[in-house]
Structures are given as C-alpha cells and as structure tokens.
Amino acid sequence: MSTFTRSSTSTSTGSTSDGKNGTTDGTLNATTTEATRRPRLSGMTWLVWRQHRAGFWAILAATALSVAWIVYQRGQLVDFLDGYGYPGKSLDDEGGKFQQYKDAFSFVSMGLQAIPILLGVFLGAPLLAGDLENGTAKLVAAQSMSRTRCLATKLALAGLVAVVSTGVLSAVFGWWWNPVKSDVTFMDWTSGAAFNTTGPVPVALTLFSVFGGVAIGVVLRRTLTAMVVTFGFTVVLQLVWGYFLLSLGNVVTVTTNKGVNVYPSLPHGAYEIDQSYVTGSGDLVGWGTCSGSQTEAARQVCLDKADVVGWSVQYLPMSQMNAMQWFGASILFALTAGVVAFLFFWGRKRLV
Amino acid sequence: MSEVMYAGEPAIEAYGLGMRYRRGWALRDCSFRLPVGRICGLVGPNGAGKTTLLNIAAHVLEPTQGSISLFGEAPGSAEAGRRTAFLAQEKPLFRRFTVAETLRLGRELNPGWDQRAAEDIIRAGNVPFEAKIGTLSGGQRTRVAIALAFGKRPDLLLLDEPMSDLDPVVRHEIMGILLAEAAEHGTTVLMSTHVLAELENVCDYLVVVSGGGVRLAGDVDELKSVHTLITGAREGDGLPVALGHHALVESRTSGRQFTALVRPEGPVIGPWETDTPNMEELLLAYLRSPDAPPLITPTAQVHRQGFGTGAVAA
C-alpha cells in the first residue's frame, strides 16, 4: 500500500522530527516522534487506523495468538502420530489417547466458525454506524478529502484486516488438518467444522458478514441496533450457507447390478448423500423395500419380484472439496461486491 | 464598503433551494447570494431551516429542490470541498482522540493546513494538547472544533451556531479571532446565530430565513437605511392613514403610542418621530411578522431571477 511509508531516520533515534511536521515548529514533538517510531500512516489511512486501532489490534493480536496455539497443537499432533505409527496403523483402534487431539481440534474449529459472526458484529456494524451516530461522519465530510475516497479507505482497511486475519487462520488451520485430512473419523470434510474453516470459505464468509454489517449500520445509523441486527444477519447467513453447502458440489451417482448384498465401493472420504435400490428397468426404489420380510429367502423373493438388481448411490467425492469451496466463496464474493456497490452508491447520495 | 463589494464575486449563490423531510418542508424556495469577503449572519427562529441550509452548503445534505453553488462550484466538488470549512452545530469530534491527534486529522486531510493558526487558537485557551477530547469541557471542545475549521484555511467558513456554549469572554475572544482571520485572508463567513450582539458587532451582511424562505437579505447598512422606524401618537386603531402608502413591515401599539417599521416609498412627513432602526429592531420586526413582504437587496439577489416584490432600486 502506497500510504505506508517508513521514516528511516527516526526509526533508529526516535528523536528527529519528521520532515512533514516541519511546520509545527516542534511544538508537538512529544506526540509526533512517538508516531514516527512506527511505520507511518498518512492521510485517510492514518485516520481510519487511529479511529479503529483498538479493534484492529485486537483482531490481529487474537489472530497471532490463535496461530501460535495452532502451531503448538500441530506439533503435538504430529509427535503423537509419529509415535503411534500413523498412517501405517489405523486411528480407529487407537483407544482413548487420540481423543485429546480431536478435542483441541474441534475447539479451535468452533472458534474459527464464530469469526464471521464476531467480526460482522464488532467490526462491520459499528464501522460507519458509529460515525453516523456521533456525527463524526460530518466532521470527516467537512475536510478536503473526497467522500468516495474516505469510504474506500475505510472499507479497504477493515476488509484488509478481516482478510489477513481469516486468510492466515484458514491457511494455518488447513495445515494443522492436513496430516489427518484423509481420516474421516477425525473430521468430516462436509461438516462446517472443516468446510467453513479452510480454504477461501472463512475469508468469504467473514467479508460478506463484515460488509453486510457495514451496510446494516448505514441503514440503521445506530451502533447498538446495527450490532444486534448484524448478529441476526450473520447467524442466518451461517444457517443458509450450511443448508446449501452440499448443493455446491456435482453429485456423483454410482449404480451396481450385482444384487443388494454387494455395496458399491465409494472413493475414500466420499460423502454419501442418498442410497436406493435400482430395478432392472432403471427405476429407483427405496432401500427399505422388502425390509419387512421375515427370512432372508423371503426377502430375496420380494426383491426379485420388485426386479431389484443393485444399488444406486449418490455421493460427493472429497476431491471436490476445493472446487466446492471456491465455488461457494465466489458466490459470497459476488454478494459482497454487491454490498460494496450499494455502500458507494449510498455514500455519494447521503452521508450524514 | 458595500459600494466596493457591490459587484463582488459570489461566494454562495442559492437558487430556489428546498429541502423536504418526512415531516414536511424545512426550507423552501430559498434564493440569495453572498458576495465574497462578507461576514454574514444567518438568522431565524428555531426550525427555520438555518441548519438545513448550512448542511446543504457543506454537502452534508442533498437538497430536494433547487441548487446552491460555492464559488461557482457544486458543494460536492473537490474545489468547493477544499475551499470550504464547516462547523456543525453539535461540533462533532472523535472523543478518543487527543487534541494533538485532532489537529493531525486536519493536517492529514487538508492540503492547505495551517498548523500554527490552529495551535494558536488551542493555546490561547490553555487546552492541553495531550488531553483526550472526551475529557474536555464543552467550551474547550468548541475551541478545538473551531481550531480545526480555521486551520483548514478556508475561503468560506460555514458556522452553525458556533458560540452557543461559550462563555461571554471566550465568545468575545473567538469572535476577535474570527474577525482578524476574515480580515487578513478575506475569508467569507456564513454564520447562523441567535445572539444579536454577535450580529451587531461582527456581521456586515445578513440573511434572515423564516417559515422556510428568505425574508431579508443584504448588506446590513443598506438594509438599515431603507427602513424607517416611526413613533407617534395613536389615532384610533392601527396606523395613521397618512402612512398607508409605505410598505409596512410591522406596527405595534403601547398605550397611546404606536411604533411602526416601514420601508418608505417616499418622504415620511407627519407629526411623528422617524429614526433608522438598529439591527435588533429590524430583525425582531421581520421575525414577528411573517406576512411582511420579503426584502432582498441587489447584492443579495441571484442573477437571472426576478424578485419583483423584494427588489429595491439601487
């Protein structure tokens, strides 16, 4: 970002006055030198960072802590797996020792799934609603900076913090999961715990939640109300997302004709969506057909009578996970772009 | 002074400006012109549309009707934004910023920022630079807000009741700064106020809005000179018939006396005392009688418009 500039002379000494502050006659030295020790922000970027620095730092610090925790936990997991002899030995019959690693995993996963809601409510909703409520939007509007640029800087910085934090966490969490990714007992890849915490999905969900919160904030113009409504919005978003999650993939159907006693073999990690019997004419009948038969022979007669020749199983292979995540994320990115367009349209019309 | 500025460039030209909120019109058909270099008082009763007018000029609100231009540019333009400073009525500031950070805000966001001018205003009030805005008193906060507006070095200052929470001493001091700044840099000021003393001593131009429209606009001396205050003995009800051909703004009776403010259409001859009204008498008369014909003097008239009723022969 071009607005980030490092003042090289004062980094070392911390006492020389920045050239830009030459007009101050050194009267504000105490405050300006403190600022020059760090990378210097300028213009609108400085203002947005200064205004929201508590929130931004909290998000980044929480991210850093989580990353450290994940790195530590992954080390523990890898040590255990090496000692255990995985993947040579299956984790299924390992007993209770593995449980603690699973628990640590699902605990962090739950935290990651809450990020879109948390950032939407605490970063998105107050971002502009606070300015509108306190009248500081008027203060900023009264300066020489163009309104579109103010809005762009604000959205960009909030978006950047959200993307950096969720992007890093998603990558690190995926890295943690990787050694045991193929083990379905560890975590089901279609569950929110895996699908919504890796790849582009956490970034997309968070961005949409945050900008959705911003939009709710500008419409309601009250911080607290906006936060409550944004909470509802982000929760509904999670529910809707979870509902349509499996629709993101291309369902694969496998059919057999070797009778019902031979179940088709699915690829490793496949998520089974539906199973039914298939008849000789290709029709599907429920797999409960003939389940009322008393004996095996009677069942066979019943099945023959219904002309059942085998199984038809619908499933999503794990190889689709990445594509599904990107497909879903691109839908969310498109929705986010729509929200941003609305914000700019609104910003030109009516700011205060 | 009015003769010199007569054909002066307009700092503000409002034409048919109207603003409607959900509950009705706050401002309606408001047209006036403010020449460059004037300190203009914007006066009117509460709810007359003063704040709405200033907000439209500061591009905080979009007018429902009409247009306004600042130095020939639309309020939203970069040029108008750079040349105009606006101090909103509630004087919004970031509460968690220190005073120094608030000034830095001005420095970061305004290319023509004058740090020394802003600091001088802060220092004159002994406001500590490292104090958080939220810990300051109302008056100190107003001072910081004013420093922020002045530090921008605007060509046009829009002030919405700038002095409302200052004590008389500080008010006097800030007014002194305002006058000095305006005189030194030729700044045009449009300032809404309730305080008549501010108008009397500071403003040389006046715009009165009431009932949503402009009632009176123009150079103060000129406005005074075209009115006559007549005092005399009552003859029955109302005004003496002999005064009937003058344009009456307001008449009041007390005991056996009457007082009338008129715009004479010729010499006032009769057994009455005549006087030039002061600003207060002029304002009160217009604010109390909403039916009086509006008066917009030529310098305050927007070109291309025909204000038959309000025009005064130059």
Of B311, B129, B59, the C-alpha closest to A347 is B59
Which of A27, A144, A145 lies at the smallest CB-CB distance from B119? A27
The strand pair at B84-87 and B295-296 is best described as unpaired
pLDDT score for B182: 84
Res A3 pLDDT > 80? no
pLDDT score for A38: 60
On whether the CB atoms of residues A308 and A278 are closer than 8 A, the answer is yes
Handedness of CA A136, B74, B157, B83 (dihedral sign): positive
Enumerate residues 6+ apart whose C-beta is below 8 A from A19: none
pLDDT score for A114: 96
Domain ranges of chain B: 10-219, 222-293
User: DSSP string covering B156-181, please?
Assistant: EEEEESTTTTS-HHHHHHHHHHHHHH
For residue A171, give Cα distances in angstroms to A162, A167, A203, A318.
14, 6, 10, 18
pLDDT score for A20: 42
pLDDT score for A26: 42
pLDDT band at A352 (very low <50, low <70, confident <90, very high): low
pLDDT band at A225 (very low <50, low <70, confident <90, very high): very high
> Which of the residues in chain B have pLDDT under 70?
1-7, 212, 237-238, 303-314
Res A34 pLDDT > 70? no
Distance CA A328, CA A334 (A): 10
Number of alpha carbons in the 13 Å side-chain half-sphere of residue B206: 28
Enumerate residues 6+ apart whose C-beta is below 8 A from B281: B229, B261
pLDDT score for A14: 38
Whether B93 sits inside 8 A of A139 (CB atoms) is: yes
pLDDT tens across B134-164, in order?
Answer: 999 888 999 999 999 999 999 999 999 888 8
Res A230 pLDDT > 90? yes
pLDDT tens across A243-287, in order?
Answer: 999 899 999 999 888 888 888 888 888 888 888 888 888 888 888
Fold of B10-219: Rossmann fold (3.40.50)
pLDDT tens across B206-226, in order?
Answer: 999 887 678 889 999 899 888
Which of A42, A46, A142 lies at the smallest CB-CB distance from B85? A142
Whether B100 sits inside 8 A of A23 (CB atoms) is: no
On whether the CB atoms of residues B42 and B192 are closer than 8 A, the answer is yes
For residue B163, give Cα distances in angstroms to B82, B87, B175.
24, 11, 9
Whether A352 sits inside 8 A of B78 (CB atoms) is: no
Which of A23, A135, A144 lies at the smallest CB-CB distance from B109? A144
Query: Which residues of B have a CB under 8 Å from any CB of A?
Result: 55, 58-62, 76, 78, 81-82, 84-88, 90, 92-98, 100-101, 103-106, 108-112, 115-116, 119, 129-130, 148-149, 152
Cis amide linkage into residue B75, ω under 30° from 0: no
The strand pair at B205-210 and B65-70 is best described as unpaired
Determine the distance in angstroms separating the CA of B108 from the nearest CA of chain A, rounded to an integer: 4
pLDDT score for A31: 46
Please give the residue of chain B at the shortest CA–CA distance from A45: B108
Whether A142 sits inside 8 A of B106 (CB atoms) is: no
- How many contacts does A have with B, using Cβ atoms within 8 A? 93
Which of B82, B105, B149 lies at the smallest CB-CB distance from A47? B105
pLDDT band at A1 (very low <50, low <70, confident <90, very high): very low
pLDDT band at A351 (very low <50, low <70, confident <90, very high): low
Helices A53-84 and A147-177 sit at what angle, rounded to 10 degrees?
10
pLDDT score for A244: 92
Domain ranges of chain A: 43-248+324-349, 252-319
Q: What dihedral do alpha carbons B240, B242, B245, B246 form, nearest 10°?
A: -70
Angular region, B248: left φ>0, alpha ψ -120 to 50, beta rest: beta
pLDDT tens across A54-79, in order?
Answer: 999 999 999 999 999 999 999 999 99
Distance CA B295, CA B312 (A): 8
Res A5 pLDDT > 70? no
Type of residue at B59 = H
Whether B109 sits inside 8 A of A140 (CB atoms) is: yes
Res A242 pLDDT > 80? yes
Determine the distance in angstroms separating the CA of A39 from the nearest CA of chain B, rounded to an integer: 16
Of A22-31, A123-132, B295-304, give the range with the top mean pLDDT. Answer: A123-132
Backbone angles phi, psi at A3, to 5 degrees: -80, -10
Contacts of A350 in chain B (CB under 8 A): 61-62
pLDDT score for A25: 43
Task: Report which secondary-structure segment, H or E, holds B84.
Answer: strand B84-87
